[in-house]
Amino acid sequence: MAALVLTVLAAAPVRGDASADALAKARAALAKGDGIAAEAPLREAVRKGAPLDSMRADLGEALLLQGDRREARKLLYGGDFSKATAAHGWHMRGRLDLAEGQLPAAGQAFDHALRLDASDAELWVDIARLRFTGGEQAQAIEAADRAVKLGPKDPRALELRGLLMREQFGLYAALPWFEAGLRVVPNDPGLLGEYAATLGDMGQYKAMLVVCRKLTEVEPGNLRALYLQAVLAARAGQTNLARKIMLQTGKAFENMPAAMLLNGILEYRAGNANLAVGHFDRLVRMQPDNLQARMLLVRSLQRQGLNAEAAEAAGLWPIQASAPPYLLTVTGNAYRGAGRKADGEGLLARANEIGEHGAEGIHSDQPLGALALNYADAPNFAGNAVPYIRGLIAAGDEQQAIAVADRLRLANPGAADAWLLSGDARLATGDSLGALDNYGRAALIRFNLPTLLRIDDTMRMLGRPADANAMVARYLRQNPGSPQALKLLAFGRQARGDTQGAAQIETILRARGFRNPS
């Protein structure tokens, strides 16, 4: 009898060994990004008696990979973690809160995880994402650098550093990071997607297509690859093909601004102005300061004969001295169609004027008193400070606008946008040198198109066209496919009398498909 008992005990799995085996299988699946394969052995181990607290963190990660945030929250916040998994558990709580936009809660969870284990590269990747999402670009770069130092072959660390490099310096600067990641993990979908997108933005469409095909081989039906191919088809003027490809993506990109813009343009080109209006209207509601989307919305409404609605959609933008000729033209035509002939003729006359005008602040449509009350509730919150600053500038109180902008900048020194806003307030007072200094500091953090446009405009205002042209050329070395920067370069050449050079750039823009949708 004793011999039989010993035989049975020897054959039965030891609970600790079963748990360890389940964790090993699950973590191998998690490393591949397969949440479904990771969940099964963990659930089985719990059913066989393994403590849930020892599996909670990994189960939470598996559910997050599947996109099931509701169940992940129940699990991650439904109990404690074992001592061995506590750092990972708090990390996953932070990742969940970050995915749901709960930035303060995510920060607290990540801080707790850091106190338990500060050597996790993936944790520093998520901290960098949190900081970037919160507008702390400089701090995000520091966290990403820490992640790469801890995990020099971690694909997510290399991918994020490439993304931040692209924001900070430009497209060419990002390529080596994506390529380094692909040397480690050649078939990683995330790295392939970012690599393809960067090549496309650089105008290297053949190379982009090669990478997209690789991405499709690695992950058939990859939606990012489909979207990028739709962009390529649209730029080549193949409207029907681009629309067909976008239909295959379903609703995956329905709230992505770039995809909304693309869908609107494609529907407009296809003659479906009513559908185009829907896309552009949603985008303008999401991004009220997106001038390109607003111009296209006005044009689409006017094409339908809805001239009064088109004039209303233009808002206050046409009255600004910096209003682009295209906006003036479409709004002027809308005014005429709505019976406001004199107003329409005035805008059309301005559209035909030669020369460029400096940028102006965007006027707020709320009373200054209401803006001040909102600002007082949370003075360091950009969502309250930015409208208040605009209202102060519109009211002629530039000094107070500078004070409010500087307070926001001091509270958010790592945010490029805070430096830009401080520069904008100074520019409104005529302090061009002070504005340029703030814009330059923003460029050290994030040298993107809004920063370039401000620096270019201010340098020309200061009578430094050669420096402005050099800055545009520097931007184009990193971002050769930028149509806006190419247009600035064309203007710079036109201003110095190089008409032929300006015409050549316009030819390049047309060849690349950057044209008005009409």
Q: What is the Cα–Cα distance from 397 to 244, expressed in whole angstroms? A: 52
Position 499 scores a pLDDT of 86
Three-state SS string over 76-114 comes to HCCCCCCHHHHHHHHHHHHHHHHHCCCHHHHHHHHHHHH
Average pLDDT, the chain: 88
Contact 334, 302 (CB under 8 A): yes
Q: Which is nearest to 123 in space by CA: 160, 84, 94, 161?
A: 94
Closest by CA to 199, choosing from 508, 515, 512, 479, is 479
- Per-residue pLDDT, 338: 93
Both structure tokens of 114: 């850091």
| Per-residue pLDDT tens digits for 136-178 | 999 999 999 999 999 999 999 999 999 999 999 999 999 999 9
Q: Say what the pLDDT of residue 92 is.
A: 98
Segment 211-228 mean pLDDT? 93
Rounded average pLDDT over 262-278: 95
Q: Please name the fold of domain 254-351.
A: 1.25.40
pLDDT above 90 covers a percentage of the chain that reads: 62
Amino acid identity of 417?
D
**Residue (of 269, 223, 213) closest to 247 by Cα position:** 223
Instruction: With CA atoms as reference, report the closest residue to 289 among 257, 244, 266.
Output: 257
In this prediction, residues 11-37 reach a mean pLDDT of: 76
Banded model confidence at residue 366, pLDDT cuts 50, 70, 90 = low
Spatial distance between the Cα atoms of 503 and 518, rounded to a whole number of angstroms: 21
Residue 515's pLDDT band, with cuts at 50, 70 and 90, is: low
Instruction: Report whether 196 contacts 212 (CB < 8 A).
Output: yes
Both structure tokens of 205: 């469409």
pLDDT tens-digit profile of 318-356?
A: 887 778 888 899 999 999 999 999 999 999 998 887 444
DSSP one-letter code for 80: -
Average pLDDT over residues 272-288: 95
Give the residue-averaged pLDDT of 469-484. Answer: 89
